Amino acid sequence: MKTDKLIKIIKLGRFQFIFGGFLYFCLGAFFAVLLNAEFALNKFLLGYAIFFTAHLSMHYSNDYFDMEADKHGKTSQFAGGSGILIENPELKNFSKWFSITLLSLSLIFAAVFVAIFSYSIWFFLFVVFGNLLAWFYAAPPIKLSYNGLGELATIFIGFMMPGMGYLTLMGTINMSFVIFSIPLLLYQLLFITAVQIPDMEGDKLGGKITWIVKKGRIFGFKTIAVAGSLATFSFIILSITNLYPIIINFKVIAFLSIIPLAFAILSYLKKSEDRITATKLVNQNLSSLILFLAITNCYFVYLIV
């Protein structure tokens, strides 16, 4: 395989999002350890292999099924697809079958995980559901993002991604994690709203039914500010409860959440219908979210060691 072709295939995977997914997975896994789950490296690595192949599969399938819609848009750091298939349509079939291969690997890894570690069948079903949700985000016949359900699916992925890390080490999803996931769901609302803002015109021409297509960019920036505010408020509430071990200081996490909150509020104050200006604000929002997740993971590791 020529180097140029290999680089294009890698770009199809949109690894900036893969890194974000890794941070979410780690957040769930480290949270489980802080709640007295044993950290087992073999579980962690195989669990992430399940998640990684599923997450990567989603990017290849989305670019494949969104190809016609993406022709109407423009690629940016976090929006508009990878743009690779538009410029290199000969890779279209590869993208589809590579996605299917990765999805299959995810399910195989999940079956192996259940067999090796004697986990419940619910672990496998959790993985199956996550893969189906990712596949049908853009794939027919469901096509969630074309039928007004893309936002809800993505918000729920805010539960699935850290949930996979938590489930890998804890062996179950319990109420402790469900409550912890609430601000993470809000961050996924921030995320999906942000990535749709630059794509408004292209999504409309491509037949997608998104909140931004229906209500516009200004509504999107309002939603980002509300989601960021509610996420910080959620962490503040957690900091004044006795739900979790005293070692986890949610005041620290609430303080760290000011990073994405500040950019969320700033983007609302600077809100613009202009695509170029709006895209810059979106990039700042998503970069700040990634920074928050990275620092929070570091905080959890500090508490563990």
pLDDT digit string (tens) for the chain, length 305 residues = 578 888 889 888 888 889 999 999 999 999 999 999 999 999 999 999 999 999 999 999 999 998 888 787 777 777 767 888 888 989 999 999 999 999 999 999 999 999 999 999 999 999 999 999 999 999 999 999 998 899 999 999 999 999 999 999 999 999 999 999 999 999 999 999 999 999 898 888 888 889 999 999 999 999 999 999 999 999 999 999 989 988 999 999 999 999 999 999 999 999 999 999 999 999 999 999 999 999 999 999 999 99
Measure the CA–CA gap between 51 and 234, rounded to whole angstroms: 26
Distance from the first to the final alpha carbon of the chain? 43
Q: Which of 204, 222, 205 is nearest to 213 (CA)?
A: 204
Encoding tokens for residue 122? 């619910």
